[in-house]
Amino acid sequence: MIDVTDGIVLIDKPAGMSSFGVVARVRRVLSERAGKKVKVGHTGTLDPFATGLMILCVGKACRSASDYMKLDKVYETTIRLGQTSSTGDPEGELTNVSDKRPTRQQIEKALEKFTGKITQIPPIYSAIKVGGQRAYHLARQGKDVEIPARTVTIYSIDLVDYAYPELKIRTYVSSGTYIRTLAQDIGEALGTGAYCCQLRRVSIVDWHVDNARTLSDFGIES
**Residues recognised as catalytic:** 47
Kindly state the greatest CA–CA separation across the chain. Answer: 59
Q: What's the CA gap between 115 and 159, in Å, rounded? A: 12
Q: What's the CA gap between 80 and 55, in Å, rounded? A: 28
Q: Write the DSSP string, the chain.
A: ----SSEEEEEEEPTT--HHHHHHHHHHHHHHHHTS---EEESS---TT-EEEEEEEEGGGGGGGGGGTT--EEEEEEEEESEEESSSSTTS-EEE-------HHHHHHHHHTTSEEEEE---SSSS-EETTEEHHHHHHTT-------EEEEEEEEEEEEEETTEEEEEEEE-TT--HHHHHHHHHHHHTS-EEEEEEEEEEETTEEGGG-B-GGGGT---
Q: What's the CA gap between 38 and 210, in Å, rounded? A: 26
